[in-house]
A and B are shown apart, each in its own frame.
Chain A
Amino acid sequence: MSDTHAESVAYVRDTFIPQQEPPVREKGVVKWMRENLFSSVPYTILSLLALWAIWSILSSFLPWLLNGVWNASSLSECRETLDGARGGCFAVLSERWNQLLFGFAYPSEFYWRPTLAFVLLFAAAAPVLVPMLPRKLLIFTLVYPFLAYWLIWGGTIVAPIMGLVGLIVGAVVFQTLSHRGFAIGVLGAVISAIAIWWIGGSLAGGPLSGVMALEQVESAKMGGFMLNMILGTVCVSLSLPFGILLALGRQSKLPIIRVFSVCFIEFIRGVPLITLLFVANVVLAYFLPPGTNFDLILRVIIMITMFASAYIAEVIRGGLAALPRGQYEAADSLGLDYAQAMRLIILPQALKISIPGIVNVAVGLFKDTTLVSIISMFDVIGMIRGPILSSTEWSGVYWELYGFAALMFFVICYGISQYSQWLERRLATDHR
């Protein structure tokens, strides 16, 4: 072949050209930028606009952040230190740190108690959140609510212990009676638990009120970010069981239970949370027996729990509806009764499908706990708008305070949603 060409073609290359680098525009940063930022005229304009937006945000934000003053006792002192330069007055955060976290009334010598409760919250949440951990740790999760109550509110340890004992006795009674039917088991458990609680209540109020007692702190003294955390965790955990019950009620074949569930859910979902908080603040007292004195925080917890359970019920209803009919029929054909079928077959699957939705509701609810500041409770927003911004030293320090509150919520909410995505991937059993 090459011989014939040797006659007709003037030149035939018989060596390889040495390998060369790809052209600049086809490699590395330049290629990436050409493809991702400047691939066409509209994209270029968009990119330039985005660059301008980022630059204008950073150019005012960064000096404010980096040049900030952390040590001052008032805004005017901050301004003196800054001397006309741009910079934030973060001294308000360091000076009012405790108020932002615990409110203005919580006794400062007891700050370690809510702090400890907060740290233990992670330990209690870990076995629920991370499925790899040994199951035995769940015992601590069970103990935690009572421990946290004792730490934050104080009082004798007898009350939370009796609360826990009531729960355990209820569970034991349920176990022993449940072979005679689910309903009988539940009934027995409820009655025995209430009996224990009643005894415990009279013991803790009377003869044993001094046993291992921490100094009592009234609910009215709760405030700051602690209040948001309390409301968020308590209401989300309480609303889960109620939400499941409501969802099952809405799916139920029994008309009275179904109608009641539908009415409750639609009513709660149809009104804004703030009207329910108004109810807690000014109306609920009319509906309680004369002379009972529920404190505001408890009334708010009741209303927010009702609110959250309606939303969670809708999410779980979606999960129940998404299960194929075959699952229900398979449970029936195994001879399981309603309670067994729900507990063993339907709910585990339905709850798994509903995890993203439940997390959304939880995040939304945690954000909505800031609404209590409107009914003049001093959560973190209430503290900022009330005592801090209206003080003579710090009036006018908006950005630092709102930025701080926003950051706290962002960290927690973003963390939760990232966690739920991780959990979703982990629990995925289908092959996609």
Chain B
Amino acid sequence: MSSAPDTSAGQAGGFRLSMLLNDTRYRGLTFQFIALAVIIFLMFWLGTNLVRNLAAAGLNISFRFLGETANYDIGQSLIEYSSQSTHMRAAMVGLLNTLLVAFLGCVLATIIGVTAGVLRLSKNWLVARLMSAYVEAFRNVPVLIWILVIGTVVSLGPSPKVYLGDDPERGLFLGLFAFTNRGLTAPAPVFGPGSLWVVLTLVASIIGVIAYLKHRKKTLFSTGTLLPTWPVPALLIVPTVLVFFILGQPIKLDMPDPLANRFNLQGGFEIGRPLIALWLALSVYTGAFIAENVRAGILAISKGQTEAAAALGLRPRRIMNLVVLPQALRVIIPPLISQYLNLTKNSSLAIAVGYTDITATLGGITLNQTGRAIECVLLLMLFYLLISLSISAVMNVYNASVALKER
């Protein structure tokens, strides 16, 4: 079948049919043609099957269901949502929930992973062993089991009733937080008039701090004098606090109130139990992998670098900050980003603890209610694909920017 289009060319010169298979100049073309034919045939076969199956089931491909009323509730949503909203809206809620838990997870996983990775290299025998045990335990057990286990741990929290009444069994933690089997209740900030200025001052002080640190580094490198670090916290805290009190405390805290309601804590905002469970599980699980990456990155820096820095008279912390880490980061960041990607993909297991991410809304309830399997799964895959491709695009840009400029 492959030779048909090429025979006309064969008559032109000294071309024989067997050259299609035996001549390296043409063999590639033959194989590509066969591959293309197979792929097209496969697509055609799948496509006709799809059409015939859909016709037999009386279905069609249509995304109109996204505009219909969803008729189901979602526990935690970042945007306005009720059971009267559309399936599209439900999918958006799920999407934002996925992004939320992925973001929170990446932050916490990085903190846990870097700490564990550095401690695993520590000369303290006990701590190093403890961290090895943590890493091995989490890397070798499926993430689904960890999600279920941590989901169970979180669900064993006390009922909100222990915090209620005039003489509660338990006081609020630090007077602010309540851990219950419904989740974590924390004070919610209420922004009054004038709070914009407080926020702006905070932003300005952060910019100031960054500028100061840059200036500090510059003077260190150009003159050798090291400016003090105390202006950093001062710059960060003093102006904001001043503005806060001058404007008459415009930001207030809405505290969880044990007395307002007989069944649950009122006030504050509640982080739902599923979110906490999934967040912790993903962070601790991914943290173990990040710890390995961090350890490998630090070990990849040759000992000569540390010794050379020590010979120059740098103190151990300086050696870490100025010599080892900048080089190790180049090794650590690419696998770190792929761990972030894994965390995002693993967040699709949210359904196991009842967190309504996009897999649970679009790929779960919406799919079951509307029966639009192909459309829902297609949208779901596209969404994850979009996240993955954008993260790998970021990674490529980063890799290009830190690649060693050699020759």
Chain A residues near B (Cβ < 8 Å) = 36-37, 39, 43, 46-47, 50-51, 53-54, 181, 183-184, 253-257, 260, 266-267, 269-275, 278-279, 282-283, 285-290, 337, 363, 367-368, 370-371, 373-374, 381, 385, 398-399, 402, 405-406, 409-410, 413-414, 417
Q: B32 near A370 (CB under 8 angstroms)?
A: no
Q: A257 near B384 (CB under 8 angstroms)?
A: no
A275 contact from B119, B127, B359, Cβ within 8 A = B359
Q: B388 near A374 (CB under 8 angstroms)?
A: no
Is B123 interfacial (CB-CB < 8 Å)? yes
Q: B367 near A286 (CB under 8 angstroms)?
A: no
Chain B residues contacting A413 (CB-CB under 8 Å) are 139-141
Q: B50 near A286 (CB under 8 angstroms)?
A: yes
Chain B residues contacting A368 (CB-CB under 8 Å) are 142
Chain B residues contacting A256 (CB-CB under 8 Å) are 32, 35-36
How distant is the Cα of A269 from the Cα of B148 in the complex, in angstroms?
25
Q: Beyond the given A43-B123, A282-B377, A287-B49, please list 5 additional residue pairs across the A-B interface where CB-CB is below 8 A.
A: A278-B363, A290-B49, A337-B24, A406-B149, A413-B139
Interface residues of B in 346-372 (CB under 8 A from A): 346, 348-349, 351-352, 359, 363, 367
Is B145 interfacial (CB-CB < 8 Å)? yes
> What residue in chain B is nearest A256 (Cβ atoms)?
B32
Q: B35 near A257 (CB under 8 angstroms)?
A: yes
Chain B residues contacting A271 (CB-CB under 8 Å) are 345, 380-381, 384-385, 388
How distant is the Cα of A272 from the Cα of B143 in the complex, in angstroms?
13
> What residue in chain B is nearest A417 (Cβ atoms)?
B140
Q: How far is the CB of B399 from chain A (nearest CB, A)?
A: 14
How distant is the Cα of A184 from the Cα of B22 in the complex, in angstroms?
10
Which of the listed residues A255, A286, A363, A410 has the most CB atoms from chain B within 10 Å of its own CB?
A286
Q: B377 near A36 (CB under 8 angstroms)?
A: no
How many residues of chain B get a CB closer than 8 Å to chain A's CBs?
Answer: 55
Q: How far is the CB of B376 from chain A (nearest CB, A)?
A: 8
Chain B residues near A (Cβ < 8 Å) = 21-22, 24, 28, 31-32, 35-36, 39, 46, 49-50, 52-54, 56, 119, 122-127, 130, 136-137, 139-145, 148-149, 152, 345-346, 348-349, 351-352, 359, 363, 367, 373-374, 377, 380-381, 384-385, 387-389
How distant is the Cα of A257 from the Cα of B32 in the complex, in angstroms?
7
Chain A residues contacting B389 (CB-CB under 8 Å) are 266, 270
Q: How far is the CB of B287 from chain A (nearest CB, A)?
A: 16
**16 residue pairs bridging A and B, Cβ less than 8 Å apart:** A39-B123, A254-B31, A257-B31, A271-B381, A272-B346, A274-B349, A278-B363, A287-B46, A290-B53, A371-B144, A381-B148, A399-B152, A402-B145, A405-B145, A410-B141, A414-B136
How distant is the Cα of A373 from the Cα of B352 in the complex, in angstroms?
10
Take A267-B385, A275-B348, A290-B49 as given contacts and tell me if A254 and B144 are in contact as well, using a CB distance cutoff of 8 Å.
Answer: no
Take A278-B377, A283-B377 as given contacts and tell me if A406 and B144 are in contact as well, using a CB distance cutoff of 8 Å.
Answer: no
Top 4 closest A-B pairs, CB basis? A270-B388, A272-B345, A413-B140, A367-B142
Q: A402 near B377 (CB under 8 angstroms)?
A: no
Q: B53 near A286 (CB under 8 angstroms)?
A: yes
Chain A residues contacting B53 (CB-CB under 8 Å) are 285-288, 290
How distant is the Cα of A270 from the Cα of B389 in the complex, in angstroms?
7
> What residue in chain A is nearest B46 (Cβ atoms)?
A287
Q: B377 near A370 (CB under 8 angstroms)?
A: no
Take A256-B36, A290-B53 as given contacts and tell me if A50 and B127 are in contact as well, using a CB distance cutoff of 8 Å.
Answer: yes
How distant is the Cα of A396 from the Cα of B223 in the complex, in angstroms?
67
Q: A270 near B35 (CB under 8 angstroms)?
A: no
